[in-house]
Amino acid sequence: MPELPEVEHVARSLHKQIVGAHIAAVTYLDWERMIETPSVDQFRKLLQGRTIQNIGRRAKWLLITLDEGWTLTFHLRMSGYITIQDTIAPPDKYVHLVIEFTDGRQLFFHDIRKFGRTRLLDPVGLRELDQAHGIEPLEDDFTVDALSSLLRNRQARLKPLLLDQTVIAGIGNIYADEALWHAQIHPLRTSSDLNDDEVARLHNSIRKALQTGLSNGGSTLRNYRNSYGEQGTNQDHFHVYARITHPCPRCGHSIERITVGQRGTHICAHCQTLNPQNERSATT
């Protein structure tokens, strides 16, 4: 958390606010470990005077394209978020990075838990970041056949595979649980054992869960905000995630929480059975 829908909303909201802005300086940095590359001194020096040309996303990384081939990237991790301040304002104790623009506005990076990270990348570094991640699940090349190939070439439990950013980019705990519920597939199923119908259902369900998150502005469980400081509302539309003991919207049985790959996982054990021969056709 944040996952693909949340980072995408951050990118879209930032695009409306700061594309074309000129960076005056990094005016505040109290957590130097958040900068993974380059050195802190180089980070400050190279950002000064840069112009923001575009805002995008790769996997769970926010990409801020600058002039002269540089890209400022952020990984929000558990509790990070970015806001734009219209006027000069002092940072509070949870703001760890401030970038000031020549028009007087400021970019604040907030992070209660200090897990967030940033990198300033040249074209080689950006290419390496891209190559370290798998297929984007909302792009045209994420087809049923592509998903089938990814699943059947691996002997892995299904949910950990969905969370593997080198395989499919951008899916985290929330949207994996929601997608598997939509598809009526148990998260402990072995990926290579899914039949053609199950693969097609899962493909549709991954897209459905992510698109629902996008439509609802992302999920705010604790800290997530877009760059206007607005919370998402997708948490009001969860079917299984964080809904322990609530009735399954499809069958009425209670939602359960199990552990899969050391991650809390929410399922309807009645709809999502481990025995594929007992699974009913999806009615999502």
Domain ranges of the chain: 4-131, 144-278
* Whether the predicted pLDDT of 74 surpasses 90: yes
Task: Specify the CATH architecture of the domain 144-278.
Answer: Orthogonal Bundle (1.10)
Q: Which has the closest alpha carbon to 256: 242, 274, 237, 236? A: 242
Span 101-124, mean pLDDT? Answer: 96
From the list 207, 208, 250, 263, the catalytic residue is 263
Summarize pLDDT for 147-192 with one digit per residue, the tens: 999 999 999 999 999 999 999 999 999 999 999 999 999 999 999 9
* Whether the predicted pLDDT of 126 surpasses 70: yes
Alpha-carbon dihedral sign for residues 203, 219, 20, 57: negative
From the list 60, 105, 119, 225, the catalytic residue is 60
Residue 125 burial by CB count (10 A; 0-12/13-18/19+): exposed, middle or buried? Answer: middle
pLDDT the model gives residue 87: 79
3 is catalytic: yes
From the list 3, 6, 8, 198, the catalytic residue is 3
- How much of the chain exceeds pLDDT 70, in percent? 97
Q: Which has the closest alpha carbon to 129: 87, 74, 82? A: 74
Cα–Cα dist 101/44, whole Å: 13
* Whether the predicted pLDDT of 268 surpasses 60: yes
pLDDT the model gives residue 280: 40
Give how far Cα 135 sits from Cα of 24, 87, 155, Å.
Answer: 36, 39, 19
Question: Which phi and psi angles does 258 have, rounded to 5°?
Answer: -120, 175
* Whether the predicted pLDDT of 284 surpasses 70: no
Q: Does residue 183 sit in helix, strand or coil?
A: helix
Strand-pairing partners, residue 108, are 83, 98
* Whether the predicted pLDDT of 27 surpasses 70: yes
Q: Supply 34's token pair.
A: 């958040």
From the list 2, 5, 160, 187, the catalytic residue is 2
Strand-pairing partners, residue 99, are 26, 107
Of the listed ranges 78-87, 103-112, 134-143, 196-205, the least confidently predicted one is 78-87
CATH code reported for the domain at 4-131: 3.20.190.10
- Average pLDDT across the chain, whole number: 94
Q: What is the DSSP string of 41-80?
A: HHHHHHHTT-BEEEEEEETTEEEEEEGGG-EEEEE-TTTE
CB count in 10 Å sphere of residue 113: 12
Q: How confident is the model at residue 278 (pLDDT cuts 50, 70, 90)?
A: very low
Summarize pLDDT for 127-151 with one digit per residue, the tens: 999 999 999 999 999 999 999 999 9
* Whether the predicted pLDDT of 279 surpasses 80: no
Cα–Cα dist 128/56, whole Å: 16
Tell me if 275 sits within 8 A of 188, measured CB to CB. Answer: no
* 57, HSE (Cβ side, Cα atoms, 13 Å): 25
2 is catalytic: yes
50 is catalytic: no
